[in-house]
Chain A
Amino acid sequence: MLYAILCYHDEDFVGSWSKEQDAAVMKKLSSVQEKLAKQGRLGPVARLLPTTAATTLRKDDPPLVLDGPYAETKEQLLGFYLVDCKNLDEALDVAKELGAANPGGAYEIRPVGTFAPGGAVT
């Protein structure tokens, strides 16, 4: 089954990492990713730009465009992975491995319902 691993973290904290700290985290993460990719289990991976670049569309009538992320929380959605895992335990293992790369924050693990890379969901 395909799982989405959604990465939440305090943006102020991530923004205060030194370049070296950021690079060290990315290097550790990429070694986990490489392993998954070799096993053919890794789907798309994204690191999102800061939430200051985010815009939210509320589907009111007429739709309302708001600046900023959808949720005003201490921790923000900063990126995500799609990983093929047998079950939740395996997905949690992957998340734990990713989590070892950097302190703080949280991962939300969500089984994917429909995945249509480049295609329409029917």
Chain B
Amino acid sequence: MSETDAAWIDAALTSARPQAVGALLRYFRDLDTAEEAFQNACLRALKSWPQNGPPRDAAAWLIMVGRNVAIDEVRRTRKQAPLPDDDHAISDLEDAEDATAERLDGSHYRDDILRLMFICCHPELPPTQQIALALRIVSGLSVKHIALAYLVSEAAMEQRITRAKARVADADLPFETPGAVDRSERLAAVAAMIYLIFNEGYSASGDTAEIRKPLSEEAIRLARLLLRLFPSEPEIMGLTALLLLQHARADARFDSDGCLILLEDQDRSLWNQKLIAEGLALIDKAMRHRSSGPYQVQAAVAALHARAARSEDTDWKQIDLLYGALEIMQPSPVVTLNRAVAVSKVRGAEAALAMIEPLASRLANYFHFFGVRGAFLMQLGRNEEARVAFDRAIALANTSAEAAHIRMHLDRLMRDSGPKGKKAGK
């Protein structure tokens, strides 16, 4: 395996991409120009690196080359133009050229990458477009690759990305160096976007899990990158920890038929201990800041699961408390529903059921509500009501794995509710 192997050059280009495109975007203030400049630089790298060896600082090389190629390009078109009347633009370019020796400055670098990520989070873009744009622009995944993960045609994905880009280009791109408040707002938006990307991979069903796993892995790469840029942000530590701890269970979440395996039934020896160790280390670091936030709390819940060697060792009492804290920070019926699961373990299904009854109208179309409700009813031996809830869950299932999982409960109900009917109280 030589240093110049295509696969290694590919990895070097991928890792340099956010920094290089981010810097080129700052120079040219136009996404298409920046991307094109980066592409051109990559083409030159593919020619030059195998012969001369890769440069020590791949990103700096790509920025320099990308910028020079683009400037030459502008010059050429200018010479062909009959009357160069835009002096201003020309002097701008010369300024840029004078700075060719400019070393990468740490603060620029940080804001460049943050800006590149942030423009993908434009509030007018629906989540699916934000994700597609980020995967294309920041991660540099090919349209084909993204289309595959989304199970849509390449043409449809191309169109989706083009539309998203047009929308972003129409908006005012934020080029000034952000102040502290702006920076933290951007950070929050970018964190949410990374979480969305992760969920695209995580919420896949058994038959698509393999194909979508790269999305979760990419989200983790971006989260680590963001944390390296902002090493003292407890919520970014929390986000990264959360993703790592969730992803650590990836290999245990589906059986060989692609059916979902619930946390309590998973083979914990399949959990990735290295990812867990990293996640626990990050949550540990985050806690020291005593500045709690939703990602940290969710990561703390995931950490309690990760720390339990067996499902019966899970500290449900603590999980109940953590969800209680999350309910205050981020009130949502879904959070309450999650808390109810912990409550059912600590105080029993009766209390848990009482807790979720008030959510019925707001979660009337939510698969998990009926799945959880059915499970509580089943525990209470109210099998007929459980069956109704499970039927509704199947009707609302988003993936075949979800439906199959509920059907398994239903089958168990059928078996259990023989002539003797319900079992008392448990």
What is the interface of chain A, defined by CB distance below 8 A to chain B? 10-13, 15-18, 21, 24, 28, 49-53, 55, 65-68, 72, 74, 101-104
B282 proximity list for chain A (CB < 8 A): 52-53
Which of B54, B57, B221 lies in contact with A15, CB distance below 8 A? B221
Are A16 and B278 in contact, with the CB atoms below 8 A? no
B231 proximity list for chain A (CB < 8 A): 52, 67-68
B2 proximity list for chain A (CB < 8 A): 103
The chain A residue with its CB closest to the CB of B221 is: A15
Other 19 A-B pairs with CB < 8 A, given A12-B15, A12-B19, A67-B285: A10-B15, A12-B228, A13-B58, A15-B224, A16-B12, A18-B7, A18-B11, A28-B1, A50-B228, A52-B227, A52-B237, A53-B281, A55-B285, A67-B232, A68-B228, A68-B232, A102-B1, A103-B1, A104-B54
State whether the Cβ of B175 lies closer than 8 Å to any Cβ in chain A: no
| Alpha-carbon distance between A47 and B348 when the two chains are bound, in angstroms | 45
The chain A residue with its CB closest to the CB of B139 is: A16
Q: How far is the CB of B289 from chain A (nearest CB, A)?
A: 8
Which of A21, A49, A65 lies in contact with B8, CB distance below 8 A? A21
Give a binary string over B150-172; 1 marks a CB under 8 Å from any A CB, 0 the rest: 00000000000000000000000
Given known A-B contacts A67-B231, A68-B231, A13 and B15 have beta carbons under 8 A apart = yes
- Is the interface on chain B under 10, 10 to 19, 20 to 34, or 35 or more residues? 20 to 34
Q: How far is the CB of B391 from chain A (nearest CB, A)?
A: 41
Given known A-B contacts A12-B225, A52-B224, A53-B281, A21 and B232 have beta carbons under 8 A apart = no
Which of B16, B106, B224, B232 lies in contact with A50, CB distance below 8 A? B224
State whether the Cβ of B128 lies closer than 8 Å to any Cβ in chain A: no
The chain B residue with its CB closest to the CB of A12 is: B15
State whether the Cβ of B311 lies closer than 8 Å to any Cβ in chain A: no
Are B228 and A52 in contact, with the CB atoms below 8 A? yes
B19 proximity list for chain A (CB < 8 A): 12
| Alpha-carbon distance between A68 and B231 when the two chains are bound, in angstroms | 6
Are B11 and A21 in contact, with the CB atoms below 8 A? yes
| Alpha-carbon distance between A12 and B12 when the two chains are bound, in angstroms | 9
A12 proximity list for chain B (CB < 8 A): 15-16, 19, 225, 228
The chain A residue with its CB closest to the CB of B278 is: A49
Are A11 and B8 in contact, with the CB atoms below 8 A? no
Given known A-B contacts A12-B16, A67-B231, A104-B12, A52 and B3 have beta carbons under 8 A apart = no
The chain B residue with its CB closest to the CB of A66 is: B232
A52 proximity list for chain B (CB < 8 A): 224, 227-228, 231, 237, 240, 282
What is the interface of chain B, defined by CB distance below 8 A to chain A? 1-5, 7-8, 11-12, 14-16, 19, 54, 56-58, 106, 221, 224-225, 227-228, 231-232, 237, 240, 274, 277-278, 281-282, 285, 288
Are B57 and A50 in contact, with the CB atoms below 8 A? no
| Alpha-carbon distance between A59 and B257 when the two chains are bound, in angstroms | 56
Are A15 and B278 in contact, with the CB atoms below 8 A? no
Are B228 and A51 in contact, with the CB atoms below 8 A? yes
B278 proximity list for chain A (CB < 8 A): 49-50, 53
| Alpha-carbon distance between A74 and B7 when the two chains are bound, in angstroms | 21
| Alpha-carbon distance between A67 and B1 when the two chains are bound, in angstroms | 36
Are A17 and B228 in contact, with the CB atoms below 8 A? no
The chain A residue with its CB closest to the CB of B5 is: A103
Q: How far is the CB of B254 from chain A (nearest CB, A)?
A: 18
Q: Give the 5 A-B residue pairs with the shortest CB-CB distance, closest first.
A: A68-B231, A103-B3, A16-B15, A12-B15, A53-B281
B225 proximity list for chain A (CB < 8 A): 12, 15
| 27 A-B contact pairs sorted by A residue (CB < 8 Å) | A10-B15, A13-B11, A13-B12, A15-B225, A18-B11, A21-B7, A24-B1, A49-B274, A49-B281, A52-B224, A52-B227, A52-B231, A52-B237, A53-B282, A55-B285, A67-B285, A68-B228, A68-B231, A68-B232, A74-B57, A103-B1, A103-B2, A103-B3, A103-B5, A103-B8, A103-B54, A104-B12
Are B11 and A16 in contact, with the CB atoms below 8 A? yes
| Alpha-carbon distance between A83 and B173 when the two chains are bound, in angstroms | 53
B237 proximity list for chain A (CB < 8 A): 52, 67
| Alpha-carbon distance between A21 and B277 when the two chains are bound, in angstroms | 22
Q: How far is the CB of B276 from chain A (nearest CB, A)?
A: 11
Among A28, A74, A101: residue with most chain B CB under 10 A: A74
| Alpha-carbon distance between A104 and B225 when the two chains are bound, in angstroms | 19
Q: How far is the CB of A33 from chain B (nearest CB, A)?
A: 17
Are B15 and A15 in contact, with the CB atoms below 8 A? yes
